[in-house]
Amino acid sequence: MNDPAQPARADRPASPDLAPDLGRHILNPRCVAIVGASDDLTKTGSRPLRFLDVAGFGGTVYPINARNSVVMGKQAWPSLTALPEVPDHVFIVSPSQTVPGVVAECVSMGVPVVTVLAGGFGESGAAGEALRAEVEASLAKGSTRLIGPNSIGVVNNRNHLMLTANAAFAEPGMPVGGVFVASHSGSMIGALMSRGRALGVGFAAAVSTGMEIDLSLGEICEATLDDPEIDSYALFLESIQHGRHLRRFAHEAARRGRPIVAYLLGRTDQAAELTQSHTGVLAGENVVAEAFLADCGIARVETVEGLLRAPSLLRKLGAPVRRSRPVRAALVTTTGAGGAMVVDQLALRGGEVAAPSAKVLQQMADQGLPVSPGRIVDLTLSGTRPDAMTTALDALTGSDEFDAVIAVAGSSARLEPHLLIPSIEAAAIASPKPVIAFATPDAPDALRRLTEAGVPCTGSPETCGDIIAAAFGRRPPHAPVEPAAPGSEVRLDEAQGYAELAALGLPVADYAVVPAGASTSPLGYPVAVKVLSAEILHKSDIGGVKLGIAGDEQFVRAAAEIRAGVGQAFPGEPCDHLLVQRMTPALGEVLLSYRDDPEAGPFVMVAAGGIDAEIYADRAIRLAPVDLPEARAMLGEVKALRRLQGFRGKVHGDMEALAEAIVALSRAPRTIVEAEVNPVLVLPEGQGVRAVDAVVTIRKAADGGGDG
């Protein structure tokens, strides 16, 4: 999974002093230079100049060409240093070997931003690594920031800055709108632009971030937050890289009311292995990325169309708010099957289409619209009447029973778009609550009309469910974190681990440390007896754990067996002390863990105990810290815990104490790198929980001693 050519950059601070003008230099440069601009139309190097010309970019453009003094009919310059002024933004389209030299020039001239088209900077072996190192060394000497390499460029639809080699921008008439698109993949920029065009979704600007050897996607987006015309962000992510930058951008974007939607590749291991990946927790399973994005307040869609359709819904919703239950939508339709398709698609993603109350039905009846009670408001019998749709939408959007309202239109959306579409559009615009439209037939004109009016809509039931679930699946973003202070990592023994947990307020089963030769338990009986060692991780496997010790005789025998087992498995490893722990009957057990990830920051997880967690991937994950309501929500996500919540008449476990334990662990100080408490015993309601094992790793300041 880890690409050695693309090492983790955990040591970089989050957003190191993004220059205040960075966003302007990226998207609104007064003058740009194109290094490697070419007359040869078959060459990529000819494109940016051509595109800028056709689009009508108003700023100054300097073609740089070492051999020709005229390129595409424009005066060309032999080098950047020959220019009469320092460009705001340099686009390097020349081959990769030339890039280090040009970047060095940019740095010494004080060019604020340089974008590099060429690839071959590490993804292709040692030669590329060397080029990359040269570029990084140059950047370290000045204030120049770099986009790429392997960036297809930057496009601003407002000022016609077509600083790109992507053929997709040869097409005129791109719809201009408020969405900023950022993509790791260059080719997906073109794909998204053409798809947006077909749907009538307008873009403010777009950037392909490539290898991110300097500016990360999160930093570039953050730099654009001062652009008042950008009202939302659509991100195409190959993996979550530079997680702290993304957190910081997301937090700031939420503060300013700019929603973010992301499509993230690598939902499966097969796809994850294809994308550049980093070390750390975010390189791992999809469920972690899912939690990370949700806790950044980023809506994660699972359909490509959703990436383009979600912004309008997110703009209506504004910043994410905490919800104590899944999204609940009302649905009004002129076609039962069309409605049922959307019900399925939303329910598959954890949401609910809910029946209107008798009160809401009465409101409709009072307005002359009798509707049968049920999960969906089916207007089929009333016919395809604008006033019926308006009455229904008014009643549903006006009720506080729903988070959103879905309007489903049948054949009329295609054949008689004047019938229902204006009603839906008007209701959607007038309502503070989002109205999402779904059309069952192919109805491009109706959908384009709604899109242009800012009404979220789609012709795909899957996208409809997707964008609603994604938009309401966001949580208020966590504050950004700086990386933890550097230091060496030290794994603690079980007793030291308990001390850390207890200090956090996490209940630990009674325990005592005794010399390995002790002949009695200081805690009475029954107890568990275990080897005490920071080095031995799988104590049970080597006979280092004896459970259910009921008296002195068993105690002495257990101690002897443990010493023998350790001596055999780890010759030379001292076995001076044993940990004695009170045996506690419990209803069940769970796994709690915490990890301060260098890229993403601290995470907390609760999982089914035993092998269920592995077999069913049954767990809940959040960025830490979490509060009590969020911890309770986590418990609701772990299916195995239903067994402890009165499932089939069983005794209730102390879920509240478990939630409190999650909160306690999630508040670990940054000195704790990792803590795994496996298991935590769950006792009956009112009797709490108890940690009965702990592996804790702490970070010690560099001068704070050895590494254990």
| Binding residues for a copy of itself restricted to 156-175, rule: CB under 8 A | 166-168, 170-171
Give least dist CB 409 to a copy of itself, A.
10
Name the DSSP class of 450: H
Residues 13-72 that bind a copy of itself (CB under 8 A): none
Q: Is 328 helix (H, G, I), strand (E, B) or coil?
A: strand
Cβ proximity to a copy of itself: between 232 and 303 the closer is 303
Can residue 140 be called a binding residue for a copy of itself (CB under 8 A)? no
- Both structure tokens of 233: 């962000």
Cβ proximity to a copy of itself: between 254 and 655 the closer is 655
- Both structure tokens of 357: 């109350």
Residues 341-360 that bind a copy of itself (CB under 8 A): 341, 343-344, 346-348, 352-353
Name the nearest CA neighbour of 164 among 92, 73, 83, 222. 92
Which range in 303-311, 427-435, 585-593, 695-703 contacts a copy of itself by CB under 8 A?
303-311
One residue of 460, 521, 593, 697 binding a copy of itself per CB under 8 A = 460
Give least dist CB 374 to a copy of itself, A.
8
One residue of 142, 284, 336, 507 binding a copy of itself per CB under 8 A = 336
d(CA 77, CA 478): 48
d(CA 468, CA 331): 12
Which range in 298-306, 471-479, 575-583, 653-661 contacts a copy of itself by CB under 8 A?
298-306
CA 283 to chain centre: 12
Give least dist CB 411 to a copy of itself, A.
4
Residues 599-618 that bind a copy of itself (CB under 8 A): 611-612, 614-616, 618
Cβ proximity to a copy of itself: between 94 and 183 the closer is 183
- Both structure tokens of 77: 């310059």
CA 208 to chain centre: 18
- Both structure tokens of 10: 């955990």
d(CA 310, CA 380): 28
Give least dist CB 195 to a copy of itself, A.
5
**How many other C-beta atoms lie within 10 A of the C-beta of residue 441?**
15
Cβ proximity to a copy of itself: between 302 and 656 the closer is 302
Cβ proximity to a copy of itself: between 350 and 505 the closer is 350
Is 63:37 a contact under the CB 8 Å cutoff? yes
H/E segment holding residue 348: helix 336-348
Give least dist CB 452 to a copy of itself, A.
17
Give least dist CB 187 to a copy of itself, A.
4
Which range in 246-254, 331-339, 561-569, 664-672 contacts a copy of itself by CB under 8 A?
331-339
Q: Is 678 helix (H, G, I), strand (E, B) or coil?
A: strand
Cβ proximity to a copy of itself: between 506 and 658 the closer is 658
549 strand-pairing partners: 527
195 strand-pairing partners: none
Give least dist CB 449 to a copy of itself, A.
17
**How many other C-beta atoms lie within 10 A of the C-beta of residue 245?**
26
Residues 462-491 that bind a copy of itself (CB under 8 A): 462
Residues near 190 by beta carbon (within 8 Å), at least 6 away in sequence: 152, 166, 167, 168, 169
Residues 506-525 that bind a copy of itself (CB under 8 A): none
Cβ proximity to a copy of itself: between 159 and 286 the closer is 286
Give least dist CB 278 to a copy of itself, A.
16
Residues 386-445 that bind a copy of itself (CB under 8 A): 410-412, 414-416, 440-444
Instruction: List phi, psi (to 5°) of 583.
Output: -80, 130
Q: Residue 286 is which amino acid? A: N
* Angle at alpha carbon of residue 530, lines to 527 and 531, rounded to 5°: 155
Residues 364-393 that bind a copy of itself (CB under 8 A): 374-376
Binding mask 234-273 for a copy of itself (x = CB under 8 A): --x-x--------------------------xxxxxxx-x
Give least dist CB 25 to a copy of itself, A.
27
Q: Residue 27 is which amino acid? A: L
Residues 94-123 that bind a copy of itself (CB under 8 A): none
Cβ proximity to a copy of itself: between 61 and 234 the closer is 234
Name the nearest CA neighbour of 376 among 350, 406, 351, 347. 406
Is 81:105 a contact under the CB 8 Å cutoff? yes
Residues 635-654 that bind a copy of itself (CB under 8 A): 639-640, 642-643, 647-648
One residue of 275, 277, 423, 666 binding a copy of itself per CB under 8 A = 275
Residues 169-208 that bind a copy of itself (CB under 8 A): 170-171, 183-185, 187-188, 190-191, 193-195, 197-198
One residue of 178, 280, 461, 544 binding a copy of itself per CB under 8 A = 461
Between helices 628-637 and 655-666, what is the axis angle to 10°? 120
d(CA 623, CA 599): 12
* Angle at alpha carbon of residue 376, lines to 370 and 378, rounded to 5°: 45
Give least dist CB 378 to a copy of itself, A.
9
Give least dist CB 296 to a copy of itself, A.
21
Residues near 624 by beta carbon (within 8 Å), at least 6 away in sequence: 594, 601, 602, 603, 604, 665, 666, 667, 668
CA separation (Å) from 379 to 392, 393, 425, 459, 574?
A: 9, 11, 18, 19, 78
d(CA 71, CA 86): 20
Cβ proximity to a copy of itself: between 416 and 489 the closer is 416
488 strand-pairing partners: 700
Give least dist CB 388 to a copy of itself, A.
16
Residues 529-558 that bind a copy of itself (CB under 8 A): none
Cβ proximity to a copy of itself: between 190 and 480 the closer is 190
Cβ proximity to a copy of itself: between 312 and 335 the closer is 335
CA 496 to chain centre: 34
Q: Are strands 89-92 and 113-116 parallel, antiparallel or unpaired?
A: parallel
Report the C-alpha dihedral over residues 305, 311, 317, 320, rounded to 10 degrees.
Answer: 90
Residue found by looking up tokens 């994850």 in the block: 272
Give least dist CB 639 to a copy of itself, A.
5
Give least dist CB 167 to a copy of itself, A.
5
One residue of 90, 113, 174, 340 binding a copy of itself per CB under 8 A = 340
Give least dist CB 256 to a copy of itself, A.
29
Is 287:300 a contact under the CB 8 Å cutoff? no
Cβ proximity to a copy of itself: between 66 and 348 the closer is 348
Binding residues for a copy of itself, total number by CB under 8 A? 77
Give least dist CB 60 to a copy of itself, A.
29
